Amino acid sequence: MSSRTYYDPLHQSITLNSSIPEEKMVMELIDSSPFQRLRRIKQLGPAYLTFHGAESSRFTHSLGVFHLARRAINHLLNVDSGLKEHKFIIYGAALLHDLGHGPLSHTSEEIFKIKHESWTAKLINSSKEITTILNKYGKGNAKAISDLIQSRKAEKKSIISLISSQLDCDRLDYLMRDSYTTGARYGQLDIDRIISAMTISPDGDLAIHPKGLMAVEHYLVIRNLMYRSVYNHRLNEVCNWLLEQIIKTARKIGPQNLWADKSMSEWLWNHEKMSLENFLSNDDTVTGYHIHRWQDCSSNNLSNLCKRFIHRNLLKALNISSFTLETRLESLAKARKLSEKYCLEPDISCGLREQVVKSYHPYKHGLRLWDGDKLQALERVSPLVDRLIQPNQASWLIYPKEIEIELNLGISLAVYSIISATILIEGSGGYI
């Protein structure tokens, strides 16, 4: 009998035993090249420029998701012993759910317009190394796992919810892990109570026993706070916007006038027909190397953008969430005009970043309480959760620091004028 232990900062020791077939499969998957690639993809993309400790990888996170899924399924076996025969599918899906992430994680999805779930499914079905391992432990395992990840299809509803729901193992791990690595203290979940409160409802789906209500409320509040303070942090928005401009500018220059290796060339100019090989050959290291090289390219625009990113000479961001759409657009126009005054390229120096986040969505795989007698929607039982349904909207005006003083003065005067006009109209009964 041989075993292997991964020491994790969150979950302590994650031990795998090769005498257990489903765990032996996990060991083989971990050792595969596509999964090892996840070591070279940062969990939080460019967030390390905002939170210096955010250096964790998708590899580490994926191990954590597997660990929580294993804990959850072993607990749920007390409720539904039939789940035992689905361990291969659950373990495989939990471990491989992020296999299709591109460089810098979610940032590449925005830039290259790809869905990591689709690429995960493609890798599971088409990577000979992955497919061979999965199907060795059960005919059709690869297809079953890819269907679960991409299409939320499985023989049991509870399996789907463990992998993809508003209380899945993915969310539980990344909230704790991202909180830990960024130094935020919000993500201290009562994971033991949450797992112990998991149960199966009469329709076969995952539910929560009322004893876990406060732990789940706490989890949803934490999710709200993490999005507001970490994921949608103003500097994260700036870094993501800079990366978008780098790739857009590189694409405009074209393959004839800009150096890029075989893999990056396909990502830039042929990503809709990208081969499996070139997808896997790109990661944070490769993309970062190109950004370094492009600092010295002939295009001043691309060179300046790359230098800003590499040397953390970041643009500024102003929260204009309270502004009307018209005022936001006017503020952007003002920023662009001022940028031209300082001989800066307005299209790559100024922009708007809009984010709308719902901490909880009752109609998207909503959570339910089941006490063995009554099944209730979570938001009907908890006023706190009901309030979390309301979306959080953030709007950031991105601009160069050279124009900061004039821009803030101009925006302040514009807002003052709007407020004054509103007061005048209201004070005159609506007539001026």
Condensed to tens digits (0 to 9), the pLDDT of residues 157-187 reads: 999 999 999 999 999 999 999 999 999 988 7
Tokens of 235: 């500097």
Cα–Cα distance measured from residue 248 to residue 246, given in angstroms and rounded to the nearest whole number: 6
Q: How many CB atoms lie within 10 A of CB 69?
A: 26
Q: Supply the pLDDT for residue 422.
A: 43
3-231 is classed in which CATH architecture? Orthogonal Bundle (1.10)
Q: What are phi and psi of 362, to 5 degrees?
A: -65, -20
Domain layout of the chain by residue ranges: 3-231, 232-313, 315-432
Residue tagged 């390229």 (tokens)? 345
Contact 378, 385 (CB under 8 A): yes
What is the CATH number that goes with domain 315-432? 3.30.70.1370
Q: What is the mean pLDDT of the chain?
A: 92
Tokens of 11: 């979950």
Cα–Cα distance measured from residue 217 to residue 210, given in angstroms and rounded to the nearest whole number: 11
| Neighbouring residues of 267: CB distance < 8 A, sequence distance ≥ 6 | 102, 112, 274, 278, 282
Cα–Cα distance measured from residue 293 to residue 285, given in angstroms and rounded to the nearest whole number: 12
Q: Supply the pLDDT for residue 423.
A: 44
Q: Supply the pLDDT for residue 414.
A: 60
pTM of the model: 0.93
Q: Which residue has the higher pLDDT, 114 or 288?
A: 288
Contact 168, 162 (CB under 8 A): yes
Same fold, 232-313 and 315-432: no
Condensed to tens digits (0 to 9), the pLDDT of residues 192-235 reads: 999 999 999 999 999 999 999 999 999 999 999 999 899 999 99
Say if residue 83's pLDDT is above 70. Answer: yes
What is the CATH number that goes with domain 232-313? 1.20.1250.30
Condensed to tens digits (0 to 9), the pLDDT of residues 388-428 reads: 998 888 899 999 999 999 998 888 766 545 444 444 444 44
Cα–Cα distance measured from residue 412 to residue 401, given in angstroms and rounded to the nearest whole number: 17
